A = this chain, B = another copy of it.
Amino acid sequence: MSVEGMIQEMGKNAKAAARSLRNEGREKKDAALNLMCRKLMENEGHIREENARDVSAAQDRGLSAAMVDRLTLDRKTIYSMADALKEVAALPDPVGEVTGMWKRPNGLMVGRVRIPLGVVGFIYESRPNVTVDAASLCLKSGNAVILKGGSEAIHSNLALAEILAESLEESGLPKTAVQVVPTTDRDAVKILLGMEDDVDIIIPRGGEGLIRFVAENSRIPVLKHYKGVCHIYVDEFADLEMAYEVCFNAKVQRPGVCNAMETLLVHDAIAGDFLPSMAKRLETAGVDIRGCARTLSLLSDAKPADESDWYTEFLDLILAIRVVSSMDEALDHIDKYGSNHTEAIISRDYRRTQRFLAEVDSSVVLANASTRFNDGNQLGLGAEIGINTSKLHAYGPMGLEELTTTKFVVYGDGQIRT
């Protein structure tokens, strides 16, 4: 069969699975998730064998040690995938929730009921555990999913997919509710992105290049973020001790992720007190600083920042620093250079924190806390399938509820429109 025919058939099968899943209660879905958990652990040996094929191919192709490391599955990573399945099974089922119901003057009872989206197309270039994570969140929320992972993880992903499909079938659910695209052919993604009759939503996860490719080629709505250029604004009235801790955490704790701080904005009134000590602390962690002219006058070791640095998601131990003469200047900077991802203010001033929280338009805005909290688990959504910085459907981290929509149900007694 051609790649096109194969992907189209996967789409039809996913749609059929979604139809049967959409009215399934949580019992069977949870049973399938728990069975997946057991089977992952039971099949550890087989998974590791298949994973070893990917790892050796990656080594042959000369992938970096860090990438090979991300790709490698061992007992610990497999057991932690299995644990995550159990955790998803234990989460509440968002499907069927009545989010509101009201009576119209003509007696119609109108309600909104939460339903699955249908078929999710998930395109990623991440570690193989994302295959299991994404599949479990889609299943729990009543959606079928087509997973297109990176070519470097194809054997691992197929081995995992087989276990997931088996578990679905043994739990009385359609096994095509979770499908991994079994080819590394690059056309597969383009074909998937054109199947608007069968796929309801596309979620890409990976580098900016992948996301842009998906957004530009998709006929299906895409939930995505291109990048996270996250800011912390240290206000004139900041608790400087808190600012040191929070800024250090936001930059250093895991610099390669989208919610790490990339630009630090510091009010001029405290810049002289704050920046030298902050820089010293950041330098102990190996952070490379690129500053505005005022920053350079305070930090002799810093390099000058150029215009493009303010737009850059470094994903590394690099930090851009700008001294601002007012909070307005900080807000303007965020508005111009920000990516609507995550912004934080450090301040003891009540009105300024309230103003920052109200005026900054980003998906997550924090007062006196690290940007690293933009994460579905950390914010209390129970899980996360990704972060969306377009304002449609779900702004910010997406959990189970964000994989659903609501339909209107209307109870009448013969009402007609006049």
Chain B residue, CB-CB nearest to A215: B219
Q: A219 to B390, alpha carbons, bound, how many Å?
A: 12
- What 0/1 pattern do residues 193 to 210 of A give for CB contact below 8 A with B? 000000011000000000
- Which segment, of A64-72, A180-188, A366-374, faces chain B? A366-374
Residue of B359, B363, B370, B411 touching A416 (CB-CB under 8 A)? B370
Q: A392 to B335, alpha carbons, bound, how many Å?
A: 26
| A contacts with B, residue count (CB < 8 A) | 68
Q: A378-B417, A390-B221, A405-B395 are in contact. Are A23 and B373 (CB under 8 A)?
A: no
Task: Jot down 26 A-B pairs with beta carbons below 8 A, ordered by A.
Answer: A19-B361, A115-B361, A117-B391, A117-B392, A200-B391, A201-B392, A221-B221, A245-B414, A245-B416, A361-B407, A363-B407, A363-B408, A365-B407, A367-B410, A368-B411, A368-B413, A369-B410, A369-B412, A370-B412, A370-B415, A372-B416, A378-B417, A392-B393, A392-B405, A395-B405, A395-B406
A395, B411: Cβ atoms closer than 8 Å: no
Within 8 A of B (CB), among A392-406: 392-397, 405-406
Known: A364-B407, A369-B410, A396-B407. 16 other contacts (CB 8 A): A19-B335, A117-B391, A118-B391, A200-B391, A239-B414, A246-B414, A249-B416, A253-B416, A253-B418, A361-B407, A364-B409, A365-B410, A366-B409, A366-B412, A368-B415, A392-B405
Stoichiometry (number of copies): 2
Q: Chain B residues near A102: list those with CB within 8 A.
A: 380
Chain B residue, CB-CB nearest to A249: B416
Q: Chain B residues near A364: list those with CB within 8 A.
A: 407-410
B396, A23: Cβ atoms closer than 8 Å: no
Return A68 CB to nearest CB of chain B, in Å.
Answer: 27
Return A349 CB to nearest CB of chain B, in Å.
Answer: 14
Q: A416 to B250, alpha carbons, bound, how many Å?
A: 8
Q: A216 to B393, alpha carbons, bound, how many Å?
A: 20
